[in-house]
A and B are shown apart, each in its own frame.
Chain A
Amino acid sequence: MNPRENMKMKNLIAGVLSALLAVPAGAEPLLSASVEPVFYTGELKGNRGLVMEYDGRQFTRSKAKYNWDNSGAAGKLSLGTGSDEGYFGFGADYQNTYDGSVGYQLGLGKAWRMSGEYDSLMHRQPFTWSAIGLNGAYYPNPVIANRGAFNSDFWFQRQAYDLKNRFTLPTQSPVSLFFDYWRVDKEGDAPARLASTPLAATSQIRNTTQDFAAGAQVEVGKTAGVDYEHLYRTFEDNSQLVIITNPSRPRIQSTQWNVNEVKFRCSPSPTMAFTGTLANSDRKNEFNGYRVKTYSGSLAGSFAPAKDLSLTARLYSRGTLVRENQFLTRDERRGTGDDSQVDKNTFRGDFQARYRLGPAHLKGNYRLEYNTRRGAPVVPFDTAGIYQDGLVVSSNTQATVMAAQDTKHILSLGLAYELPLDIEIEAEIKRLIANRPVFDALPNWQDTADLSLAVPLPKNLSLLGAVNYLQERNNMSNLMKGSRTQALYMAGLSWMSKFVSLGADYQHENARTYSEGYFGATNYVSRNNTYLRTLIHDPGMYYKEINDTLGGNVRVALPKGIALKGQGSFTRSVLRIPVNIPAAVQRQVAGEDHGDVTDLGPSNVGIYQLGFGVEYHPEMFESFSAKLGYRTNQWSDKNDSRNNGRVNVVETSLSAKF
């Protein structure tokens, strides 16, 4: 487009937008616009459920490569104008029927600001098989029906709406009023199994959450301010559980929240600041009559007594009360509802100091947290158990516990040091000590250590390396003593020159969680008045997780406005839950599987993503560009090929900016 036609286009857009905003004739608005249509064609192999978890395009499994049915159009558009009287910004991003967003920002004079956004996302809920390790080999659950027999993919669409309005009153102490609306609709299906049938079923997702918020913000002088907000939230769930062999059951939930919150800030001097909040909330489930009320407050202050020293303190308190509906008899089997929910009180104090001493930055933090819980459940095992390894557990000596009270102390010390040649090293250690863990799965003791090194090298090259190590244990439980260790190693590289930019990062994580495994609680099975021959105790059960992630990107600028781009990522995760449940301790029944159970959750998955393309920015027409790209995504399950999927997509786009 030549400059004269470019100016005609600008004037046309100016005319349209000026009409929208009633911009006075003669005012010269600031204009901008961009448009980018995209055309794509793709191919799907295998299962789309995992490889396209957040991609709403419906590539079919077709023999023909890149056929027209697997093609489509997408695009982006943005417009903007502004003058003394008002400004308007609009953006749209259409990806496919289910994925996209639209947003706008509007300002009129000094008084009114408004913004709105709509976003739609498809989230696939893939049907997968559980599996164990049997006689050392991967063995998926044979009972669950084939996905193919059950028909179709499972997915739901999430639509979000966000509207914000802000009015600034022209008073001497500026007062602003705001009215916000936010909404999320989720609609679709997810796979389900039921306790009463081995057959797979469909669990509907049909719910809506809405937030209505209104409030005021008052500036008190130049250094202080107060905000008040009232939030009213509703949640409605109208899903059905669709069961193939039984009538569907509704799953109804209707909840309302009312929240009031006051925040204040005050900076009496450049070296001092205070903030605080007061809030209460009331959440009621209209379906069952249960009600949760919370009351909370916080106060924080920071002070910098010297140029290189800053001190911060934060106090927080929160109380949660549950009003049970003790007369509720909706429960189908047990008569009445649970009349003893957990009321909780929390007190927390955080104290932090930061000090700079030449090239060293020191940081120290201490946190104290005190929790009390009324009605915390303790479920004792009131019968005895004799295990196959000789362990004898007497009655009422073990219980599943939620702590009625716990106190945590968390201390951390950190150091960042600037070495010569702009090298930076950072280290931090942290220790948590609790008088008891809240649950058996949580620690009463935890140590963490972090170390990182950033090294800038010649020729705009930089290297980064980091290590994180965690160790924790729960050695207080009367049921499940356990521990966890985790090591995380990271490395990164980046290089930038006049024509080439390159970045790569790698992360390796190795984690283990140890716990005792109790398979069976009591030898006496009350439901059929029988004696269980063997209870199994595995004192060395553990969970193992190894993750490797690798990512990289490169851009090469060639002459004549051409640029080559590439990017890719690779993730490999290996998970295991090794156990020792030999066949000898299990009862053998004719016609049923029988063997050594060696793993309770084996998994070995690789996720690959690779893309490359070319961009062309013509030197004579700087406002235009063209792109052509190829991308492939692959999900590879080494144990179960039914989960595998691969998508290849070719995309081409043009873009213009005015």
Chain B
Amino acid sequence: MNHRRIIEGALAAVLLAGGFGRALAAEAEPVGSETCLGCHAERDVKKKLHTKAMSTAKGVPFDKACETCHGPGSLHAAAAGDKSSPGFATIKNPKDQSAAEQSETCLTCHKQKNLTLWGTSSHKQGGLSCAKCHTMHGDQKKNLAKDGVETCLTCHKKQRGELQLASHHPLIEGRMTCAGCHNPHGGVSGNLRGETVEDTCFKCHADKAGPFMHEHPPVVEECTTCHKPHGSANATLLKQGEPMLCLRCHKWPHTESTNNVSAMKTKTFEQRSRCTDCHNQIHGSDRKAGLKD
């Protein structure tokens, strides 16, 4: 009998607590963004383009801007910073949500075409949410939490050293971002903007795309056959220095002729150790089969 009463009492307590919790959630009401800024003034949301765009694009006036994403805040505001208060945690904090819940908030409004493949993207499968890279309260472009390159290098650490090598795209100079070549929201081939590596590279480097009368097969196959796009110690982002890169597929053909006698001479190596000095149309040529002007 005593055991039964204890169990009933515990069950009633659980139900009461749950009901009380539900009652708390049901009672939370919007308080307006000015109330939020009373404690969270550092968010400075009035000056953020996201706040302005919400008003225009989605008809969400500034007064409702905070609670559209974070939920009604009356109980949270009433807690006045007391974390032990039951009402304090009724506000939606992205840090307490799963990746899917965080992203759901953003994807309710954001349906741009570069998000079409997000559902099966490697970032989403890896457990990333929008809030991992973006923040509505920041000053960076595209609402990134850090600038365009630092956001990516937080996880992709190997590329940090490559970007500092002698030959590199102007990322560390701030003139380009990772998103110039990659779509972090998902692409057909990994996270590239183009369908293939070549489609990605040929957008800015269309002079290499051809088609040419005389093609260089590694160019047709894939740019990364010869290049390292994130950075290289060799000129023009090559994987190995010349002539080593070329000699991995080709025999050295050059001899020098003196008095009609052909031979390997020191002069041969002095003048021809950098193949693209002469083979300057290495990506393809309409002029000569030797890929040069």
The answer to whether A and B come from one shared complex is yes
A150 proximity list for chain B (CB < 8 A): none
Partner pick for B157 among A55, A263, A288, A464, CB 8 A cutoff: A464
Report yes or no: B289 in contact with A338, Cβ–Cβ below 8 A. Answer: yes
Most buried by A among B250, B251, B264: B251
Most buried by A among B213, B214, B253, B286: B213
Q: Say whether A85 faces chain B, with CB atoms less than 8 Å apart.
A: yes
Q: Say whether A647 faces chain B, with CB atoms less than 8 Å apart.
A: no
Q: Say whether A217 faces chain B, with CB atoms less than 8 Å apart.
A: yes
Roughly how many angstroms separate A318 CA and B188 CA in the complex, as a whole number?
A: 11
Interface residues of B in 205-258 (CB under 8 A from A): 206-207, 209-215, 217-218, 220-221, 225-226, 233-235, 240-245, 247-253, 255, 257-258
Interface residues of B in 108-146 (CB under 8 A from A): 111, 113, 116-120, 124-126
Q: Say whether B52 faces chain A, with CB atoms less than 8 Å apart.
A: yes
Partner pick for B217 among A334, A342, A352, A507, CB 8 A cutoff: A342
Report yes or no: B57 in contact with A287, Cβ–Cβ below 8 A. Answer: no
Report yes or no: B195 in contact with A274, Cβ–Cβ below 8 A. Answer: no
A597 proximity list for chain B (CB < 8 A): 266, 269
A331 and B119 in contact (CB under 8 A), knowing A82-B56, A143-B270?
Answer: no
B245 proximity list for chain A (CB < 8 A): 441
Smallest CB separation, A389 vs chain B (Å): 13
Report yes or no: A84 in contact with B214, Cβ–Cβ below 8 A. Answer: no
Report yes or no: A439 in contact with B221, Cβ–Cβ below 8 A. Answer: yes
Interface residues of A in 68-99 (CB under 8 A from B): 80-87, 89, 99
A251 proximity list for chain B (CB < 8 A): 293
Roughly how many angstroms separate A549 CA and B204 CA in the complex, as a whole number?
A: 28
Report yes or no: B175 in contact with A85, Cβ–Cβ below 8 A. Answer: no
Q: Say whether B53 faces chain A, with CB atoms less than 8 Å apart.
A: yes
Additional A-B contacts beyond A30-B47, A141-B274 (8; CB < 8 A):
A82-B56, A84-B55, A109-B56, A130-B273, A285-B210, A479-B251, A575-B241, A577-B243
Q: Say whether B262 faces chain A, with CB atoms less than 8 Å apart.
A: yes
Q: Say whether A613 faces chain B, with CB atoms less than 8 Å apart.
A: no
Judged by DSSP, the binding face of A is strand
A331 and B273 in contact (CB under 8 A), knowing A338-B214, A583-B266?
Answer: no
Report yes or no: B213 in contact with A290, Cβ–Cβ below 8 A. Answer: yes
Interface residues of A in 178-231 (CB under 8 A from B): 178, 184, 192-195, 198, 203, 207, 209, 211, 215, 217, 219, 225, 227, 229
Q: Which 5 A-B pairs have the closest CB atoms?
A: A82-B52, A273-B119, A507-B161, A587-B263, A32-B47
Partner pick for A586 among B157, B170, B220, B265, CB 8 A cutoff: B265
Report yes or no: B225 in contact with A442, Cβ–Cβ below 8 A. Answer: yes
B286 proximity list for chain A (CB < 8 A): 253, 287-288, 330-331, 337
Whose C-beta in chain B lies nearest to the C-beta of A88?
A: B52
Report yes or no: B175 in contact with A54, Cβ–Cβ below 8 A. Answer: yes
Report yes or no: B211 in contact with A227, Cβ–Cβ below 8 A. Answer: no
B117 proximity list for chain A (CB < 8 A): 263, 265, 275, 277, 300
Roughly how many angstroms separate A338 CA and B49 CA in the complex, as a whole number?
A: 55
Q: Say whether B35 faces chain A, with CB atoms less than 8 Å apart.
A: no
Q: Say whether A650 faces chain B, with CB atoms less than 8 Å apart.
A: no
Q: Say whether A3 faces chain B, with CB atoms less than 8 Å apart.
A: no
Report yes or no: A110 in contact with B56, Cβ–Cβ below 8 A. Answer: yes
Proximity string of chain A (575-610) to chain B, C-beta cutoff 8 Å, 1 when within and 0 when not: 101000101011111001111010011010101000
Whose C-beta in chain B lies nearest to the C-beta of A353?
A: B125
Q: Say whether B61 faces chain A, with CB atoms less than 8 Å apart.
A: yes
Roughly how many angstroms separate A344 CA and B198 CA in the complex, as a whole number?
A: 14
Smallest CB separation, B268 vs chain A (Å): 8
Report yes or no: A585 in contact with B211, Cβ–Cβ below 8 A. Answer: no
Proximity string of chain A (453-483) to chain B, C-beta cutoff 8 Å, 1 when within and 0 when not: 0000000000010101000000000011010
A549 and B280 in contact (CB under 8 A), knowing A255-B206, A287-B286, A515-B244?
Answer: no
Roughly how many angstroms separate A265 CA and B119 CA in the complex, as a whole number?
A: 7
Report yes or no: B125 in contact with A302, Cβ–Cβ below 8 A. Answer: yes
The 5 listed contacts between A and B (C-beta, < 8 Å) are A341-B211, A468-B158, A532-B264, A533-B263, A534-B263
Q: Say whether B88 faces chain A, with CB atoms less than 8 Å apart.
A: no
Most buried by A among B119, B206, B210, B217: B206
Partner pick for A300 among B47, B120, B288, CB 8 A cutoff: B120
Report yes or no: A520 in contact with B251, Cβ–Cβ below 8 A. Answer: yes
Most buried by B among A55, A84, A354: A84
Report yes or no: A253 in contact with B271, Cβ–Cβ below 8 A. Answer: no
Whose C-beta in chain B lies nearest to the C-beta of A117?
A: B141
Smallest CB separation, A619 vs chain B (Å): 15
